[in-house]
């Protein structure tokens, strides 16, 4: 499912990029330190050399104490950049920029997490036993809604007790509470509002990805997971069935159904259908030994006559009768519009409702007639239907993928519960950018571009309501004039100006070598560098000229360019083939595993180490590397450091000499003192462990984009 969250601290500060800049009007006027950094309200000693005669010190914001070539600078009480100027008797002038930062006491205890998710994909629905509450399991949390109006009453996230925001299954506990299956384990929410989480680490659950739940009618429950089938008894005992210790045909259990005799029907992802009887006997149905049309079983429903309906991922809908007869409905022999059947529900009159992928909603009556509802001819908000539930009044609740929740009433009216073009558009966040006013731009997978203002308002730009050429946004860059550059997966490069105008650059209308844009960087002259998936590196100048560098016409190591970083007028280029440095003189220097200390040729992220003149390099399955100005390499890997994974996808300075490291197994903080601290889904408010983007929020906190599935 990529999520977005915001991490705030009790000690709020503006974390600004450390500018390594000591500007002088005379070549021999030198400051020590060259790039001063001081905490708010604290003092630092400044020294200047190369002066002539009496000198005068002045500071724009702070205070200078003392005279002569060595003085004390006292910082103001808020984070900022300050400028200190020295004037000597000969008229030489020197200035030095001082970064004033607020100390951030980063710890698990004082971190305040604010989580933003998209809840337009709904995989589970449940009506409370008293009929008053509609529970909605989404890809971005659990919703509690009024069953009569559909209005949201409360949203539960990982910060409230859910083990994961991706909710896959719901089941009443018959005591006013409910069981919640997620990708991060099984949760029990009691009638008293207490949460209890079951996972691989604390109990007998075979896998943390829970797909299906079913009551055993004796106070316990069956749990279908990615790693097998588990039975949790009313006495608190666990029993696990897998391919290795039973006749379960597949460990990925996707659907469960009681056989009304104490036994169990089990649908698996690739192993077909199994029947487990009360006598502990197994019977397996698959494509090879039965008329089951496809081994990917996604939904099961009793026909109330001893048989069952079976929805498959690729083989359509099958009916297995109590007499052992098979009837298969597919697109070529019926009016079923799609062979991917994901959800089934009885219509209470001998027929059934069928939710499909890319086929909408089908109604198959007891008389053998089909009626199909889709986006084109009804009020259904999406043709991907994931969940179905009776509203107890003859109508139907419909959970869709990317279309939100819909209600089809007994009066045959449609009501959709989704706000178009508002809120976080996708949980798969790929790009983050400050809007320079305290707000945020967010690029997501298939979600388009979103703007989150300081007033908490969302505006979403997508193909259908703007000039955005593709809803899959991969990278964002400010144009330094209030607008932004947007790199997309298939739509090329877009420029959105402060006047609200769109300009799109693609292969067929410009010099852009590939429509898949992976990286963007300003060239400091009004133009920009563009890294592409297969077309190499492109330079678009302020005069509108294009120059392309690829493996055929330069020393670029790969045409797959993933990361770009400015280097004193030159350019660092991270590619699938290694790391390259392109100088202002047009020379190339290349670094690979076989000619340097680079631990992997797949370079995913680059970051300057600021005042030290080197750079940090995040790579695929090679960890984190530091390349110093002395051309030395230091590599951090999972087995000999605090790095939680060797796949490093995002890097960000903490502006205190350390850095934030985004991996596929959590967020790490590496301090200037060499200490590691790791945040992950299990011990923090992080909604997903796969980090995709990092950004300072200018108030001492951090925006973190994650690869949370919708």
pLDDT at 32 (0 to 100): 86
Measured CA to CA in angstroms, residue 140 lies from 3, 359, 385, 401, 658 at distances of: 8, 24, 17, 12, 32
Selected residue with higher pLDDT from 480 and 653: 653
Which residues lie closer than 8 Å to 582 by C-beta, 6 or more apart? Answer: 549, 570, 571, 572, 573, 588
Question: The tokens of 510 are what?
Answer: 């410009």
| Tens-place pLDDT, residues 130-169 | 999 999 999 999 999 999 999 999 999 999 999 999 999 9
Which residues lie closer than 8 Å to 691 by C-beta, 6 or more apart? Answer: 649, 650, 662, 663, 664, 666, 667, 704, 705, 706, 707
Listed residue (589, 700, 613) closest to 654, CA to CA: 700
Output the CA angle 494-498-500, nearest 5 degrees.
65
| Domain-wise residue ranges, the chain | 15-111, 331-417
Query: CA 624 to CA 620: how far, in whole Å?
Result: 9
Question: The tokens of 25 are what?
Answer: 């009007």
Which residues lie closer than 8 Å to 132 by C-beta, 6 or more apart? Answer: 146, 147, 148
The percentage of residues in the chain with a pLDDT greater than 90, rounded to a whole number, is 73
pLDDT at 319 (0 to 100): 97
| Tens-place pLDDT, residues 439-472 | 899 998 888 999 999 888 899 999 999 999 999 9
Give the least confident one: 94-108, 483-497, 563-577, 613-627.
94-108
pLDDT at 27 (0 to 100): 45
pLDDT at 672 (0 to 100): 84
Question: Phi and psi (nearest 5°) for 677?
Answer: -135, 135
| Tens-place pLDDT, residues 611-650 | 677 899 999 999 999 999 899 999 999 999 999 999 999 9
pLDDT band with cut points at 50, 70 and 90 for residue 79? low
pLDDT band with cut points at 50, 70 and 90 for residue 127? very high
| Tens-place pLDDT, residues 551-588 | 999 999 999 999 999 987 689 999 999 999 999 899 99
Q: Residue 428 carries which DSSP code? A: B
Residue 11 has pLDDT above 60, yes or no: no
| Tens-place pLDDT, residues 518-560 | 999 999 888 999 999 999 999 999 999 999 999 999 999 999 9
| Tens-place pLDDT, residues 37-77 | 777 788 999 999 989 889 999 999 999 999 999 999 999 98
Q: What does pLDDT average to over the chain?
A: 90
Helix/strand/coil percent split, the chain, to 5? 0, 45, 50
pLDDT band with cut points at 50, 70 and 90 for residue 303? very high
Query: CA 330 to CA 317: how far, in whole Å?
Result: 7
Query: CA 24 to CA 423: how far, in whole Å?
Result: 48
Listed residue (322, 378, 317) closest to 345, CA to CA: 317
Give the least confident one: 98-112, 179-193, 347-361.
98-112
Which residues lie closer than 8 Å to 377 by C-beta, 6 or more apart? Answer: none
| Tens-place pLDDT, residues 340-354 | 999 999 999 999 999
Question: The tokens of 384 are what?
Answer: 């991907």
Q: Residue 374 carries which DSSP code? A: -
Residue 100 has pLDDT above 90, yes or no: no
pLDDT at 116 (0 to 100): 85
pLDDT at 188 (0 to 100): 96
CA atoms within 13 A on the CB side of 607: 27
Q: Residue 288 carries which DSSP code? A: T
Look up the pTM and report it.
0.77
pLDDT band with cut points at 50, 70 and 90 for residue 2? very low
| Residue 115 near residue 7, CB atoms below 8 Å | no
Give the least confident one: 199-203, 248-252, 384-388.
199-203
Query: CA 129 to CA 146: how far, in whole Å?
Result: 13
Which residues lie closer than 8 Å to 498 by C-beta, 6 or more apart? Answer: 481, 482, 483
For 15-111, the fitting CATH number among 3.40.1160.10, 2.60.40.1180, 2.60.40.1080, 2.40.160.20 is 2.60.40.1080
Average pLDDT (79-106) is 78
Listed residue (709, 668, 656, 672) closest to 687, CA to CA: 709
Average pLDDT (595-601) is 96
Residue 666 has pLDDT above 60, yes or no: yes
For 331-417, the fitting CATH number among 3.40.1130, 3.40.190, 2.60.40, 2.40.10 is 2.40.10
Length of the chain counted residue by residue: 710
pLDDT at 22 (0 to 100): 38
User: Strand 448-452's sheet: what is its strand order?
Assistant: 429-434, 440-444, 448-452, 458-461
Query: CA 349 to CA 371: how far, in whole Å?
Result: 15
Average pLDDT (20-45) is 68
Query: CA 467 to CA 493: how far, in whole Å?
Result: 11
pLDDT at 299 (0 to 100): 98
């Amino acid at each position: 499912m990529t999520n977005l969250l915001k991490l705030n601290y009790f000690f709020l500060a503006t974390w600004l990029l450390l500018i390594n800049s000591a500007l002088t009007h005379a070549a021999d006027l030198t400051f020590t330190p060259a790039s001063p950094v001081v905490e708010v309200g604290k003092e630092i000693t400044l020294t200047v050399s190369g002066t002539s005669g009496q000198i005068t010190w002045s500071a724009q914001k702070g205070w200078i104490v003392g005279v002569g070539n060595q003085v004390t600078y006292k910082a103001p009480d808020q984070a900022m950049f300050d400028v200190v100027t020295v004037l000597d008797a000969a008229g030489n002038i020197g200035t030095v920029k001082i970064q004033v930062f607020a100390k951030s006491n980063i710890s698990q205890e004082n971190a305040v997490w604010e989580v933003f998710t998209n809840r337009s994909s709904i995989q589970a629905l449940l009506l409370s036993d008293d009929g008053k509450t509609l529970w909605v399991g989404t890809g971005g949390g659990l919703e509690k809604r009024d069953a009569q109006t559909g209005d949201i009453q409360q949203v539960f996230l990982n910060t409230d007790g859910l083990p994961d925001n991706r909710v896959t299954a719901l089941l009443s506990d018959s005591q006013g509470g409910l069981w919640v299956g997620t990708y991060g384990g099984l949760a029990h929410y009691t009638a008293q509002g207490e949460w209890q989480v079951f996972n691989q680490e604390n109990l007998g659950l075979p896998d943390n990805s829970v797909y299906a739940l079913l009551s055993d009618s004796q106070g316990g429950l069956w749990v279908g997971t990615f790693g097998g089938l588990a039975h949790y008894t009313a006495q608190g005992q666990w029993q696990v069935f897998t391919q290795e210790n039973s006749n379960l045909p597949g460990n990925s259990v996707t659907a469960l159904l009681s056989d009304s005799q104490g036994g169990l029907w089990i649908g698996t992802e690739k192993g077909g259908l199994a029947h487990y009887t009360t006598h502990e006997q197994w019977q397996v149905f698959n494509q090879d030994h039965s008329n089951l049309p496809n081994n990917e079983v996604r939904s099961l429903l009793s026909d109330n006559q001893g048989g069952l309906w079976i929805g498959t991922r690729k083989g359509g809908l099958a009916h297995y009768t109590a007499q052992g007869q098979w009837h298969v409905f597919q697109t070529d022999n019926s009016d079923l519009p799609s062979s991917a059947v994901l959800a089934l529900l009885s219509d209470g009159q001998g027929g059934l409702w069928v939710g499909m992928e890319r086929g909408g909603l089908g109604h198959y009556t007891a008389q053998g007639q089909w009626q199909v509802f889709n986006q084109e001819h009804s009020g259904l908000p999406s043709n991907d239907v994931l969940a179905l539930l009776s509203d107890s009044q003859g109508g139907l609740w419909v959970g869709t993928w990317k279309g939100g929740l819909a209600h089809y009433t007994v009066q045959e009216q449609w009501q959709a519960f989704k706000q178009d073009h508002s809120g976080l558009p996708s949980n798969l966040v790929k790009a983050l950018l400050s809007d320079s006013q305290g707000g945020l731009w967010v690029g997501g997978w298939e979600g388009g571009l979103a703007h989150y203002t300081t007033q908490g308002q969302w505006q979403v730009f997508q193909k259908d309501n703007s000039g955005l050429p593709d809803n899959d946004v991969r990278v964002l860059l400010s144009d330094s004039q209030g607008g932004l550059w947007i790199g997309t997966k298939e739509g090329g490069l877009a420029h959105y100006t402060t006047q609200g105008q769109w300009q799109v650059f693609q292969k067929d209308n410009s010099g852009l070598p590939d429509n898949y844009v992976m990286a963007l960087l300003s060239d400091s002259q009004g133009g920009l560098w563009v890294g592409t998936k297969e077309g190499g590196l492109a330079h678009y100048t302020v005069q509108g000229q294009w120059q392309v560098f690829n493996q055929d016409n330069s020393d670029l190591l790969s045409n797959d360019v993933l990361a770009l970083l400015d280097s004193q007028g030159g350019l660092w280029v991270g590619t699938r083939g290694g790391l390259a440095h392109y100088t202002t003189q047009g020379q190339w220097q290349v670094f690979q595993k076989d000619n340097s200390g680079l631990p992997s040729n797949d370079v995913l992220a680059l970051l300057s180490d600021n005042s030290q003149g080197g750079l940090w390099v995040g790579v695929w399955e090679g960890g984190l590397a530091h390349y110093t100005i002395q051309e030395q390499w230091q590599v951090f890997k999972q087995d000999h450091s605090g790095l939680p994974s060797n796949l490093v996808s995002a890097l960000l300075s903490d502006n205190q000499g350390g850095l934030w490291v985004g991996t596929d197994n959590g967020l790490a903080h590496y301090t200037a003192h060499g200490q590691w601290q790791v945040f992950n889904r299990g011990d923090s408010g992080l909604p997903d462990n796969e980090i995709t983007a990092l950004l300072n929020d200018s108030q001492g906190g951090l925006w973190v984009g994650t690869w949370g599935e919708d």
